[in-house]
Structures are given as structure tokens and as C-alpha cells.
Structure 1
């Protein structure tokens, strides 16, 4: 454990020096900002002196960085999903899940307003899909079926059936999709399960 602490603290010096030189700040200027002597700052940057919390706090404030950045704390589990839109075929697809392989994957599809397509290029592939329309009217061609889903309506189908979707009219469409590449199906519960009666 002590070895890990020593290893972490040994990396603070180079970080401090990189931050200071990257901002074109002299040791004298940093000393004036933090109240830490120039000789102490020099020893901290060279690793000749082990930093204390009392020194790291004003240094982090002076450099305008979180304390974690100075000590190289491991990243925490950030629950946010950093979305990278996929644009193609006149549609923007926003991945809403971290999945990149098996398992259910969630997407938001946005089709801007425009002329409805008359050429439905049906395609098929392994998997199972569930759609839910948020806004507008979505045309879904599925095998021999040609249907229109309005906001609040949903559909699910085996993607091995040839399919295509697009706007049903001139207005834009937004919808969510859940896709299971291994054929997983959505399990929808219409109402909460009844609680078992408590024992007297």
C-alpha cells in the first residue's frame, strides 16, 4: 500500500512542472500565488520533496485543475454516455448505450423533415428490434406489410424479415430503437407485479 502511495506521489512533480511550464508561469509567480517558497516549489517539481495536502490544494487552485488531476487519481465510473452521432441515409442515429457487441443496444433515430421516400430498400440481418415513435409518423415496411406508426406507438420484429423505415409524410420523425443482435426480445411489463401479502 505504501509503495502505491509513493509511486503516485512520485508522479506529482512532473505534473506540476508540466502545468506550470504549459501556462508559461515562473516559479516566482507561482510562489506569489500559492504562498509556497520558490525553493520548495522547485524541490516538489523535481521530486526531491514529497508533496503534502496543504501544498497540493493551493497548487491545484493556482493551476485551475482538480486535485485529482495533480495526483493522477483513477477515473471514477462516469454514468454519462458520451454520444457520437452516426449520420447516413438521411438519418441521424444517436447511440444511447455503451454496448458494442452482444446484448441489447439502444438508439435514438432522427429523420429531418423532407419529402417521403418512395423507394423502400428492404434489408434483413440477424437480430430482433423494438421501435417506439417519439414524434411524427414513421413508415415501416416489414415483409409484405406497409404500416405507419404515430407518436406513442411501438412495433417489434425479427430483423431476419426484410424491413425498411422512413418518414411517412413531409414532417420529421424521431423514434427509439432497441436492437438485440443475438435475437434478444424486449420484455414489456404492462403493470407492476403484485406484492405478496405480508405475513400477519
Structure 2
């Protein structure tokens, strides 16, 4: 197996676990919903069992996501800088927006969690721009530093967390319909 395949498999395993934890489900609960044994699910999550396509389809359904979202790879273009439109006095960021997006302005004062188990994963896409200060985006295995006027766009199936670096920062977050629904569930829990 190639290194890229190993990385994708590791990412899929982390997504399965992160989605299970985000739902508040034990191994036993997801195993029941996916009709697999608890030990099989445990071995899948910790890398002791090869991932099989039929199991991935079943797990995706049980986790209320799609196989495509479960195996989506990250783009290298996570962080973008604005395009300066001097004629109109504007900064512009390109993004792949869809109907049903929600915009949220947030003031962050805490750093992102350093414990990967506290990072969230859920269906959808998020886009954020730093309005002031410096934000830290933890995304999968990556740590991205975003300064004022930098933006990031990423699939939320990657375990992620955002926080401030050294003090306070303000970000403008844009969530597609699926990501916003997941965040609303998380806020009410």
C-alpha cells in the first residue's frame, strides 16, 4: 500500500471516530447502528483491521453521512489571502458557496484544544476569514496559523477546531447547510 493510501485510511478512521464521538455514541451504539460487532468497530477505529468498502458504506449510513464525505481528501489550498480590489476599496476572498449558507461573526479568546479527541468532525464545509488578531485552525494533522485578512476553507469531515493565538481574534465563519446544522446540534447538547 502506498503512503497516500495509508494517510487516507488513517484520516477515514479518525473521521469515523470523530463523527461517533460528536454524536455522543459509544462504540457499542455505533456498532449496533451499523450492524457490526463492537470489537470489529474498535479494530477499524484503531487501525488493527483493514477498511472494507462494504463496511465503509454501512458506517457512513449509520453516521448519517455519505461515503464521498467520509473519504474526501483535503485540498492543499486550505489558507487563502484576499485579492485587493483597489478600484472599489475592497478585499475579496474566493469561496465555493452554496445556497443555504450561514454567516457567523465570532470573538475567540481561547486557543484551540490541544487534545485531538476534542476536535469535531461532521458533514459539510466551512469557510472563515480572520477579521482581527490571529487564529489557529487545527485540521486533521495540520495546524494552520491565520492572520488578519487570511481565509480558510475546508471540509468539516476532517476533525477540526479553531481558536485564538495569544489573546483575542475575531473571525467571520460561513457554514454550508450541513455544517450549520451540525454546529446547532453541538450548541444545544
TM range (shorter): 0.3 to 0.5
Q: Which is higher, the Rg of structure 1 or of structure 2? A: 1
Structure with the higher helix share, 1 or 2: 2
- Higher normalized contact order (CA 8 Å, seq sep 6+, divided by chain length): 2
- TM-score, normalized by length of structure 1? 0.37
